[in-house]
Amino acid sequence: MRKGIVVLMVAAIAVTGVIWLLRLWRAPPPGHATPDAALPDPVSVSIEPEPALPIGPRPARFWQEIAGNRVQCQLCPHLCVVPDGERGQCRVRENRDGVLFTIVYGRPVAVGIGPIEKAPFHHFHPGHYRQTVATVGCNLRCRHCQNWHISQREFEGMRYLPRSVDEIIAGVSRAGLDSVSFTYTEPTVFFEYMYDIAKAARARGMKTTLVTNGFISPEPLRALLQHMDAVRVDLKAFTEEFYREMSGASLAPVLASLKVIREEGVWLEIINLIIPTLNDCPNEIRAMCAWILKNLGPDVPLHFNRFFPAFRVTHLPPTPVETLETAHRIAREGGLNFVTIGNVPGHRYNSTFCPACGGRVIHRVGMHVQAKNIERGRCQFCDEEIPGVWE
């Protein structure tokens, strides 16, 4: 009897020791902020060790050593100088003893399935669904962010889903899909994870899409585009003032990224979220459309989306539909062929129209495709070519 009690006590001590070691293993790095008490502790998700998957912190790409055991990240135009033990503005790239690490590799906070129109993409496989992947983090500080609860959080305190590259790819196949999309937060900040998934997906004949703010350095962007089929860029406004005050960034690098994407021949679409009093000036919209026409051409789809109060911009009303219609008219009169209005389900300009005959070539209600009148990339009404990736 006593022997049995001793065995049980030893087993209990062993289990306690394993749990203690696991907590040490998953604790935040020394000197970093502790989790927000209001958020779930990652340790509470499971007391079991994570599966033996190729996930977790690993050396990052695109950085250089500088004096004082510091590093300079060169992934985006912030060019953060990061002291030992600290992180860059994105909150997910950390200097560990003079080596820059990504801490979110294989640790997405969102993996799901959704329509390609949610991105939105309107000229890329309309009506198709894709696997979506996102980790925590963003390199901008948009005051009006719609996904702030995952983009503007620290990694510590967020529940994540351990997923290796192979598991993501297997999930795409298991769901009967043929594409994967990097979205929701800012994929630039999980560059290494995204790059490896995209490369593996393309090797298996899958399509890859990127939803980004475009605030990325040219070298990593060009490397990434070798494994991307389509990119949707959020052109937040057309003034440096807006980017500086509302996003903590600058406009010029985003415009440079748009040119790079076009040069690399990857399908490109642009979204502009119109916010009352902040970026709804007709002259600004006119200047933006003129820049797009001159530098990217008339056939790049442009989406004007309706703003709803969010995050730190809750004092402004939703965008009046009339403002969106004015922007649509300015863009069409300015020579852009494919202009749509989003976040207004049921609006006529959810749909895509042929610029030659005016026929409705893709009938949408919100994010849902009702009918497609395109055959082999041409309008079924007049045979006009409609640029896009249709098959």
Torsion-angle region of 339 (φ positive above 0: left; ψ -120 to 50: alpha; else: beta)? beta
Secondary structure (DSSP) of 285-297: HHHHHHHHHHHH-
Q: Is residue 188 over pLDDT 80? A: yes
Structure tokens, 122: 């309107």
The model's pLDDT over 4-63, given as tens digits with 9 standing for 90+, comes to 433 333 344 343 443 333 333 333 333 333 222 222 222 222 223 334 347 899 999 999
- pLDDT value for 64: 98
User: Dmax over Cα atoms in the chain, in whole Å?
Assistant: 91
Strands, DSSP E only, in the chain? 58-59, 63-66, 70-73, 81-82, 93-96, 99-102, 110-115, 129-134, 179-182, 207-212, 230-234, 267-274, 302-306, 339-342, 352-353, 360-365, 368-372, 374-375, 378-379
- pLDDT value for 138: 98
The answer to whether residue 60 sits within a structural domain is: no
The answer to whether residue 3 sits within a structural domain is: no
Structure tokens, 2: 């006593």
The answer to whether residue 174 sits within a structural domain is: yes
Mean local confidence (pLDDT), 309-329: 98
Q: Any alpha helices (H) in the chain, and if so which ranges?
A: 2-25, 148-151, 165-174, 191-203, 218-225, 240-242, 252-263, 282-296, 321-333
- pLDDT value for 317: 98
> Across the strands, what pairs with 172?
none
Mean local confidence (pLDDT), 102-106: 98
Mean local confidence (pLDDT), 313-330: 99
- pLDDT value for 55: 85
For the question of whether the overall pTM of this predicted structure is more than 0.75, the answer is yes
Q: Is residue 141 over pLDDT 70? A: yes
- 3-state SS, residue 220: helix
The answer to whether residue 59 sits within a structural domain is: no
Q: How many Å apart are CA 278 and CA 295, to the nearest integer?
A: 24
The answer to whether residue 92 sits within a structural domain is: no
Q: How many Å apart are CA 155 and CA 103, to the nearest integer?
A: 8
- 3-state SS, residue 209: strand
> Across the strands, what pairs with 113?
131
The answer to whether residue 273 sits within a structural domain is: yes
Q: Which domain holds residue 343?
A: 110-379
The answer to whether residue 267 sits within a structural domain is: yes
CA angle 333, 339, 342 (to 5 degrees): 135
Torsion-angle region of 137 (φ positive above 0: left; ψ -120 to 50: alpha; else: beta)? left
Checking DSSP bridges between strand 99-102 and strand 93-96, what pairing results, if any?
Answer: antiparallel
The model's pLDDT over 339-386, given as tens digits with 9 standing for 90+, comes to 999 999 999 999 999 999 999 999 999 999 999 999 999 999 999 999
The CATH number assigned to the domain holding 274 equals: 3.20.20.70
The answer to whether residue 206 sits within a structural domain is: yes
17-21, 51-55, 139-143, 241-245 — which is least confidently predicted? 17-21
The number of folded domains in the chain is 1
